[in-house]
Amino acid sequence: MTKENKDSVEAANEFTETFNAIKKEVHKIIIGQDEIINLLLISLFSRGHCVLIGVPGLAKTLLINTLADTLGLSFNRIQFTPDLMPGDITGTEIIEEERESGKKAFKFVKGPIFANIVLADEINRTPPKTQAALLEGMQEYNVTTAGQTYHLDTPFFVLATQNPIEQEGTYPLPEAQLDRFMFNIWVDYPTFDEEKKIVSQTTSTKKEKLSPILDKSKIEELQDLVRKVPVPETVLDYAVKLVGCTRPDSEQAPDFVKKYLSWGAGPRASQYLILGGKARALSEGRFNVTIEDIQALAVPVLRHRIVNNYAAEAEGFTTVKIIEMIIEKLK
């Protein structure tokens, strides 16, 4: 084994150990939800963002709080409400008077977006104008106001929770904002045994204490490591072809895609499939990406990037079902 290969194996093993240590710490508070925790950590180490969808009361907010405590990062929670304004997220300028000279000048007061982990709680309870205040920060790691640009501290990780659109008092997220989220994660009800454990744990006096597993510099080091994982040409071809098959106007799209989808995913989906595949491979102690990694992440990456039409809804073809059909078609 060459020195380079040996270093790669050691780096992958260290990543796996750290990944599992974080999960173990989170599980002190969170019962079950193993796959969801995996996706959150894959997104973090890929420098992505996540939106979690589920009915109220499934511990989405608690999960994100617990993750922030475990990672030892600064954390802010924004409760999205119908009257929330963009400045309530990014910050606002106030007039401040200097005591000595008596001169007045504008001073920028930073909003809650200035944190390492930002929880956008019930993001679809506020109109699109306010939702869009997160866009620049999520993509550019900057906030611009009154002609001034302020840099956000890294790592920067936005986790949004969302109630199902069918619920009263919700606004659909604009497609441009949805595309900024690496993963769309559905949070389902716990199993019977998990719910018993949850009820037992949350109705007792016992309180678990969390220990931070990482610091900022180590997280950024692991994020850099993800980018270094090599991707075989066959896997790259597969990821791009998979995304291309979601586009109804593409020659490679299967007939059922042309029949059931209004439009498909853009290049950002291909990027996130590859980045997520790299982080998933490292989490399993591998320094190489496989087609199985891409397939495992296809649903959370693509679910919010493709739009089914009336024919699909009438015949019961959900976006998840169509993604699964595309994967089967490409085998």
Output the pLDDT for position 297.
94
Domain termination site, one of 194, 221, 248: 221
pLDDT tops 90 at residue 236: yes
Residues 67 and 113 in one domain: yes
For residue 190, whether the previous peptide bond is cis, meaning omega lies within 30 degrees of 0, is no
Stretch 59-80: mean pLDDT: 83
* CATH number, position 246: 1.10.8.80
Residue 159 lies in a domain: yes
Residues 132 and 198 in one domain: yes
Residues 25 and 115 in one domain: yes
pLDDT tops 80 at residue 58: no
Per-residue pLDDT reduced to its tens digit, 87-113: 888 887 777 777 776 677 777 778 888
Q: What angle do CA 116, 231, 176 make, to 5 degrees?
A: 45
Annotate 75-85 with b (16+ C-beta within 10 A) or e (fewer): bbbbebeeebe
**What DSSP character marks residue 125?**
G
Pairing of strands 307-308, 261-263: antiparallel
Residues 198 and 241 in one domain: no
Q: Identify whether the C-beta of residue 134 lies closer than 8 Å to the C-beta of residue 126.
A: no
pLDDT tier for residue 55 given thresholds of 50, 70 and 90: confident
Stretch 105-126: mean pLDDT: 83
Residues 242 and 197 in one domain: no
Residues 7 and 132 in one domain: yes
- Rounded distance, CA 117 to CA 71, Å? 10
Residues 273 and 169 in one domain: no
pLDDT tops 60 at residue 167: no
pLDDT tops 60 at residue 1: no
pTM, full prediction? 0.87
* CATH number, position 187: 3.40.50.300
Does the CA dihedral 136-142-146-148 come out positive or negative?
Answer: negative
How many other C-beta atoms can be found within 10 angstroms of the C-beta atom of residue 161? 25
Residue 275's domain comprises 229-331
Residue 209 lies in a domain: no
Residues 70 and 155 in one domain: yes
Give me the percent of the chain exceeding a pLDDT of 70: 92
Q: What does each C-alpha distance from 263 to 27, 53, 305, 309 come to in angstroms?
A: 39, 22, 9, 9
- Rounded distance, CA 188 to CA 305, Å? 20
pLDDT tops 80 at residue 170: no
- Rounded distance, CA 238 to CA 327, Å? 10
Residues 161 and 247 in one domain: no
Per-residue pLDDT reduced to its tens digit, 178-213: 888 999 988 878 778 877 777 777 777 777 777 778
Residues 197 and 242 in one domain: no
Range name among 96-110, 239-253, 260-274 with the lowest pLDDT average? 96-110
Residues 199 and 237 in one domain: no
Gyration radius (Cα) of the chain, Å = 21
Domain termination site, one of 168, 192, 221: 221
Residues 46 and 192 in one domain: yes
Q: What does each C-alpha distance from 253 to 234, 241, 244, 272, 328 come to in angstroms?
A: 19, 9, 7, 20, 13
Output the pLDDT for position 287.
87
- Rounded distance, CA 267 to CA 115, Å? 28
pLDDT tops 90 at residue 274: yes
Q: What is the mean pLDDT of the chain?
A: 83
pLDDT tops 60 at residue 166: no
Residue 101 lies in a domain: yes
Q: What angle do CA 28, 159, 56 make, to 5 degrees?
A: 70
Stretch 19-46: mean pLDDT: 87
Q: Identify whether the C-beta of residue 156 lies closer than 8 Å to the C-beta of residue 196.
A: no
Residue 208 lies in a domain: no
Output the pLDDT for position 41.
92
- Rounded distance, CA 107 to CA 110, Å? 10
Task: Please count the structural domains in the chain.
Answer: 2
Stretch 282-286: mean pLDDT: 89
Output the pLDDT for position 4.
60
The SS3 of residue 275 is: helix
